[in-house]
Every structure is written in C-alpha cells, then in structure tokens.
Amino acid sequence: MSPVPDETGSVALPPAFDDPGYAAGVVDLLGALAYGELTAFDRLAEDSTTAPTTPDKVELAAMACAEFGHFTRLRDRLHLLGADPYDAMAPFRQTFDRFHANTAPRTWPESLVKAYVGDGLASDFYREVAAYLDDQTRGLILEVLEDSGHSAFAVDRVRAAITADPRVGGRLALWGRRLVGEALTQAQSVAAERDGLTALLAGGVDRPGMDLAAIGRMLARLTENHARRMASLGLSS
Amino acid sequence: MSPVPDETGSVALPPAFDDPGYAAGVVDLLGALAYGELTAFDRLAEDSTTAPTTPDKVELAAMACAEFGHFTRLRDRLHLLGADPYDAMAPFRQTFDRFHANTAPRTWPESLVKAYVGDGLASDFYREVAAYLDDQTRGLILEVLEDSGHSAFAVDRVRAAITADPRVGGRLALWGRRLVGEALTQAQSVAAERDGLTALLAGGVDRPGMDLAAIGRMLARLTENHARRMASLGLSS
C-alpha cells in the first residue's frame, strides 16, 4: 500500500498525521525498524561467511539482501515523511548494537536459530503495533515483515543439526531463551527512553491504543508464538 | 537478453552450444563470474562494517546486494544450461579466495579503491571475452557487469580522503599496483588450469577467437583503462 502522489508530486498522508505526536511516533517506529533491518543485513551477511556449504551461504546472503531491500523501503518512506532517515535511526543504534553484541552466534546452528527466532519475535511485535496505525504505515510494515520463504530453510537446517547430534538441541534451547531475554531487556530500555513510541502504543483522544491489560495480552501472544517457533525447530522453550 | 522458453518450457540455445567444447567453456566462464560475484558480495558486506558513517555503510551494502543479485542471475542461467552452478563455481574458488586473502583492505579508502579498481578491471576483462560469445551469453554478461552508479560514490570518497590527507594518495597508489599485480597472477593461474576457458578465448573452426597478438592488444586496453580509473581517483598508476 503505497501512498499515491498528487499532481504536485507530494503525497497525501492519512489524517492521523495531522497530530504531530502521532507523526513523530511513526518516524520513531520506522527509524527503529529501519535500523533493525540494517543490522539484520550486517548480521546475516557476517553469519553467511560461517555457512558449512556454498548453497547454505547463498541462502543466508539472500536473507541478508532481502533485509537490506526492506531497509531501503523504510528509508525512502522516512524521506517522504520529511524526516532524515539517519536521524530517525540514531536513537535506536545503541540498543540494537548492544542486542547483537550480546547475542553473537558462536556456531552455524546458533546463527540460524537467531535469524528464525529473533526475526520472528521482532516481526510479531511490529505487527501488533501496526494494528494501531494508519493504513499506509501498516501496509508498509506488513510488507517489509513478510516472510520471504527463508524460515523453512532455517527450520530444516536446525532440525538436521539436532538429528545429527542430539546434544545440540539442549544447547540451542538455552540459546533461544537467552535471545528472548535479551530482546525483552532491550525492548524495555527503548520503551523507557522513547516517549514518542510509547505514546503511539498508548493511543490518543480519537485513536485507539493499548492499555496495560492489552499490553499483557500482547506479551502473552508473543510468548506463545515464540514457543511455537521453538517447537517447530524441535526445541523446548 | 533472456532466452525465450518454447511451449515445452525448455529454452532454445544459440547454435554455438551444439559444440560441447563451447558449452563447457561458457559454463566455466559463468561459473567464474558467479563465484566472483558471490565473493564480491562477501567482501563488500564485510567492508561495509568499517564504513565511517551509516550512509557510507549503506552505499557499500547496496553494492554488496547488487553483486548478489548478479550472482543469482548467473546461477539461474547455469541451471538453465543444465549445469550445477556450485560445481561450475568450484574450480574458481581457490583462485578468488586467494586473491581476496592477499588483498584484504586494511582501511576504508583501501576498500573503496579495491571495489572500484578491482571490479573495473574484472568487468573490462569479462566484456572483452563476451565479444567472442553468442548473443545470449554476451547479453547476460553485459547485464550483470553494468555499473549501477556506485563508482561515482567510490571516486568521490577516495578523492575526499586524499584531499584530507595527501599522504594517503601515495599509499593508495601502491595499493592499486598491488591489486593489479595480484589480479594478473590469479588470472594466469586460472588460464593455465582451465582448458575450457582458454579454448573459449582461442575460438574454433567456425568461431573467431583471440590469437596471441589479440591477447596482447586486450592486455594493453585493460592496462589503459586501469590507468584511467586510477587517474579518476587522483592516483598515479
């Protein structure tokens, strides 16, 4: 769902953007998402160098480039909203960099679990938030979060690694828990620091939002989906 | 120039492919080119992590993903020719890996010079060879070698680095000579090992090829173009 430029070349934004608080919150959210995609590119490209075979490496490189493609869509949208994309990303840099520094995979199966479980969790979260946003922003977010069929590859390879050596399963289950714990820690620090983002979630006078009970239900859904993904890898959560 | 599938879904190949030696030579050439693109992705993605700013990093990541896109086009063509793309790439692995191991950039400007000068030299070489090939193969090669406007970025940033510190220019000039020397060394080892490739260059009964004099003229053109690229960076060659 791309906005249609009018004859002057500018784009009609949905009425929600008349509220400067809303507009700032969307810029924050897209900035976080864009920086997330850019670091995902980095991480997948780096992990691709540890792939055991060339076809495996190519799968990870394809995932990396898909994430980079999403990044460019978000960057262009930020431009169109009149924001500097790099300024919009800057506040989230430290959080994402810390997350990746604290969860650097040491093995190829750890890379795959991180790509599958970490991206799945992030996607679920952004989808939940998108439900409260205007059509254009929601459309863009759902578009860049679409799974491009790479999950099946990660699931297949992780299950094969566990079959080959069942002890790997225990270690990867711990790894999955560590990824979620670190993600929650970093998400909380973002929520505490970025008022624009929390305001976006909380809603406004004429815009529905999440109260504490809704946030609780969202966390429950995120956790359930995470457990489902771990199970599909053959791992306990 | 993509081949058009007939009603059975198979593709009509140009008559040159009736000669098994020619077909094998093309598979060799596309295999080398494909592995070259894949390692270019690797190298550019890795170099992007040393970029001084996020916009610079994004430029290099975009170059990396463009190379990966070329790789996928070559891989698909190899499939279509009935070859296993990974088998076709395998003979060139060691040569490219050695080239990159021997020319790992230690600084950001070295990365840029390598991206610009190294890719330029490789492109020139493949273009020269393409002139002797059938339409379909030539069309694909010219397509994946097309400069996607990233050269201007490298030239701009390298010139800025030299302006900021003129001593950088001397070191980068030496670096440029080292890149060419290493590229020629590796190219010679490929030519010595891969009969299919050299046969492709030499031509056949009803197909023109390069004699020694033509190869000499080609090397002269490659060297001239290299000097021109070094000059556009503000470097002696």
Question: pLDDT tens digits, residue range B138-187?
Answer: 999 999 988 666 788 999 999 999 999 999 999 999 999 999 999 988 88
The mean pLDDT of B98-103, rounded to a whole number, is: 92
CB contact (8 A) between residue A71 and residue B49: no
Let me know: does B132 contact B210? Beta carbons within 8 Å: yes
CB contact (8 A) between residue B71 and residue A64: no
Residue B1 lies in a domain: no
Range 1-30 of B in CB contact (< 8 A) with A: none
The mean pLDDT of A42-52, rounded to a whole number, is: 92
Residue A136 C-alpha, separation from nearest chain B C-alpha, in angstroms: 25
Q: Is B11 helix (H, G, I), strand (E, B) or coil?
A: strand
Size of interface A-B (CB pairs under 8 A): 57
The residue segments making up the domain with residue B87 are: 17-232
Residue A7 lies in a domain: no
Residue A82 C-alpha, separation from nearest chain B C-alpha, in angstroms: 17
Alpha carbon distance A113, A160 (integer Å): 13
> Chain B residue with minimal CA distance to A87?
B54
ipTM metric:
0.84
Alpha carbon distance A168, A159 (integer Å): 10
Which residue of B49, B55, B86 is in closest CB contact with A42? B49
Alpha carbon distance B168, B162 (integer Å): 5
Residue A30 lies in a domain: yes
What pLDDT is attached to residue B17? 92
CB contact (8 A) between residue A46 and residue B41: no
| A1 pLDDT higher than 60 | no
Residues of chain A positioned with their CB less than 8 A from the CB of B92 = none
Alpha carbon distance B43, B41 (integer Å): 6
Residue B164 C-alpha, separation from nearest chain A C-alpha, in angstroms: 24
CATH of the domain at A67: 1.20.1260.10
DSSP secondary structure letters along chain A: -PPPB-TTS-BPPPGGGGSHHHHHHHHHHHHHHHHHHHHHHHHHHHHHTT-SSHHHHHHHHHHHHHHHHHHHHHHHHHHHTT--HHHHHHHHHHHHHHHHHHT--SSHHHHHHIIIIIHHHHHHHHHHHHTTS-HHHHHHHHHHH---S-HHHHHHHHHHHHHH-THHHHHHHHHHHHHHHHHHHHHHHHHHH-HHHHHHHH-BTTB----HHHHHHHHHHHHHHHHHHHHHTT---
Place of tokens 């030539």: B138
Tens digits of residue pLDDT in B167-180: 999 999 999 999 99
Residue B12 lies in a domain: no
Residues of chain A positioned with their CB less than 8 A from the CB of B44 = none
Tens digits of residue pLDDT in B7-42: 555 668 999 899 888 999 999 999 999 999 999 999
Per-residue tokens: B177: 């000579």
Partner B contacted by A41 (CB < 8 A): yes
Tens digits of residue pLDDT in A133-192: 999 999 999 999 886 667 889 999 999 999 999 999 999 999 999 999 998 888 888 877
CB contact (8 A) between residue B75 and residue A58: yes
Residues of chain B positioned with their CB less than 8 A from the CB of A71 = 58
Place of tokens 């190294």: B118
Range 80-109 of B in CB contact (< 8 A) with A: 86, 89
Residue B43 lies in a domain: yes
Residue B77 lies in a domain: yes
Range 108-167 of B in CB contact (< 8 A) with A: none
CB contact (8 A) between residue A42 and residue B62: no
The mean pLDDT of B87-104, rounded to a whole number, is: 93
Alpha carbon distance A62, A115 (integer Å): 13
What pLDDT is attached to residue A148? 65
Per-residue tokens: B178: 């080292």
Residues of chain A positioned with their CB less than 8 A from the CB of B41 = 45, 61
Please count the structural domains in chain A: 1
Residue B71 lies in a domain: yes
Mutation for B interface: A39, A58, A94, most B CBs within 10 A? A58
Which residue of B45, B54, B58 is in closest CB contact with A64? B45
Residue A8 lies in a domain: no
Residue A194 C-alpha, separation from nearest chain B C-alpha, in angstroms: 21
